[in-house]
Amino acid sequence: MKLIKKLILSATGVLLGLGLQVAVAAPSGQPIKVGGTLALTGPLSATALIHKLAGEIYVEQLNKKNGLLGRPVEWILKDDQSKPDLARTLYEQLVTVDKVDLLLGPYATGNILSAVGVAQKYQKVLVHHTMGIPSLVKYDMQFPAWSVGYDPATTVTNTLLDALASTTKFPKTIAIVSSKFPSVYMMSVGMREAAKKRGIKEVLFLEWEFGNKDFGPIASRVKDANPDFIFVGAIGLEGNQLLDAMKKIDYVPPMQYFMYPAPGPLAKAPGAERAMAGSIFEQHPPFTNNPLAAEFVKIFNERATKAGLPDNAVETQAAASYSAWQVIEAAVTATKSLDDKVLAAWLKKNKVDTIQGKLRFDGPSNFGDDLLRVKQVQNGHWVVVWPKEWAAPGAKLLTQ
């Protein structure tokens, strides 16, 4: 009996000791510097703010655990003002002056291309989260957490058409209206081809310059063309502007898809009910079945509210940003190294489990699978509706 008691006490002691050790193990030593820029000001700043919050949360969580390799992580973040030329200069600074250990990409295609140039010059690994035109990046040590596959113009548009085919109202006619912003224009051109292959008649194709202010005539032309389905190649605010203009002439298209909308404002806009868009993550099951994702959603919601963001939900942008940090952490932890070549070699051979799903980097330009799903505004909220295995519980694609 005494022996059993001793054993129990010893075991409890060991467990408590271990527990204490885990509890007190804080990162120590020289911080590991992760450098990057975001468009904290300028036309891209509304979205970049989401990436800033996501990054801050990740670094905080990382340092609460054991940092990276037992060392604290410091995120050196600079404002590239939404300017690719400035992003290039700042990444040069990060490498040569701040001497960062690791690089994280900026927000959006143009600035990422600038950062990739610098990373290539100094042979640094660059993990980035929002590269819209995969074929433009050739550097072999850049790794995308924006999981749209190498040829999104084909795969994303076909996923959408598959989703529409699952309903009883597959469109017979389509209007494609598009900003000439490169990453969305590419998708609009892809939709033209995909629609043609599926026998959908194109009744209207329009393009406008990025920064267009008057969407009235565009809305009128869409109404005049009377399509079954509109594919809106809009970025950010443009989707809302077109929706507002359509609402003003009392026109609600039977079905509409927005390529890269400002998700929060669009979901709340009049006339947006049943509008569709792409998404890699929404804050509902099955995505939030992952405990890490659920915790991130909870913290992000709180922080976004505190930061005064009108929409505090975690969706594509925040999830892509979080995933980029997960990619960095996974590679450093697995290799126990900060050597760029070692990290790159590991990433090319291994998949990384992220909150948006498993990412692989062994395809062309290190792009892996296209994980962009179809989401829809239902009762004022975005829910994923396609593919079925990622749909919110009970949700399905609704048509008018």
Partner 1 sequence: MNFPSWTLLGQSLLSGIFIGSLYGLLGLGLSLSWGMLRQINLAHFALAFLGAYLTFQLTSVGGMDPLLTLGLIAPAFFAFGVLMQWLFSRFSISPFNSLLVTFGLTVIIESLIQWIWTADYRKMDSVYGEMKFKIGSLYVPLPELLTLIIAVTLSLSTWALLRYTDLGKAMRAAAEDPQIAAAFGVNEKRLALLLSGLAATFAGVAGLCLALSYTLSPSQIYAWIGVVFAAVMIGGLGNPIGPLIAGIVIGVAEAMTMALISPAWAPLVSFSLLILVLLTRADKV
Residues that bind partner 1 (CB under 8 A): 40-43, 45-46, 48-49, 82, 180, 206-209, 211-214, 216-218, 220-221, 223-224, 236-237, 240-241, 244-245, 247-250, 262, 264-265, 268-270, 307-311
What is the spatial distance between Cα 77 and Cα 35, in angstroms, rounded to a whole number?
6
- Compute and round to an integer the Cα radius of gyration of the chain: 23
Angle at 118 between CA 340 and CA 184, to 5 degrees: 105
Task: Provide, rounded to whole angstroms, the least separation between the CB of residue 241 and partner 1.
Answer: 7
Hey, which residues does 74 pair with through a beta bridge?
A: 33
Nearer to partner 1, 209 or 389 (CB): 209
Task: Provide, rounded to whole angstroms, the least separation between the CB of residue 49 and partner 1.
Answer: 6
Nearer to partner 1, 266 or 391 (CB): 266
Nearer to partner 1, 180 or 396 (CB): 180
Task: Provide, rounded to whole angstroms, the least separation between the CB of residue 185 and partner 1.
Answer: 10
Task: Provide, rounded to whole angstroms, the least separation between the CB of residue 187 and partner 1.
Answer: 17
Q: CB count, 10 Å around CB of 167?
A: 15
SS (H, E, C) 186-201: HHHHHHHHHHHHCCCE
Nearer to partner 1, 275 or 395 (CB): 275
Task: Provide, rounded to whole angstroms, the least separation between the CB of residue 98 and partner 1.
Answer: 24
| Residues 136-162 as b or e (16 or more Cβ within 10 Å = b) | bbebebbbbbbbbbbbbbbbbbbbbbe
Q: CB count, 10 Å around CB of 233?
A: 28
DSSP string covering 207-263, please? Answer: EE-TT----HHHHHHHHHH--SEEEEEEEEHHHHHHHHHHHHTT---SSEEEEEE-H
What is the spatial distance between Cα 49 and Cα 34, in angstroms, rounded to a whole number?
18
Nearer to partner 1, 5 or 213 (CB): 213
Task: Provide, rounded to whole angstroms, the least separation between the CB of residue 85 and partner 1.
Answer: 17
Q: Smallest Cα–Cα separation from 102: which of 327, 366, 346, 356? A: 327
Q: What letter represents residue 391's amino acid? A: A
Nearer to partner 1, 46 or 342 (CB): 46
Task: Provide, rounded to whole angstroms, the least separation between the CB of residue 82 and partner 1.
Answer: 8
Task: Provide, rounded to whole angstroms, the least separation between the CB of residue 133 and partner 1.
Answer: 19
Task: Provide, rounded to whole angstroms, the least separation between the CB of residue 81 and partner 1.
Answer: 10
Nearer to partner 1, 49 or 90 (CB): 49
Task: Provide, rounded to whole angstroms, the least separation between the CB of residue 38 and partner 1.
Answer: 11
Backbone angles phi, psi at 358, to 5 degrees: -80, 130
DSSP string covering 351-368, please? Answer: -EEETTEEE---SGGG--
Nearer to partner 1, 317 or 365 (CB): 317
What is the spatial distance between Cα 331 and Cα 335, in angstroms, rounded to a whole number?
6
Nearer to partner 1, 269 or 343 (CB): 269
DSSP symbol at 108: S
Six-digit token string for 137: 């990046």
Nearer to partner 1, 40 or 186 (CB): 40
Q: Smallest Cα–Cα separation from 388: which of 167, 228, 151? A: 167
What is the spatial distance between Cα 375 and Cα 319, in angstroms, rounded to a whole number?
15
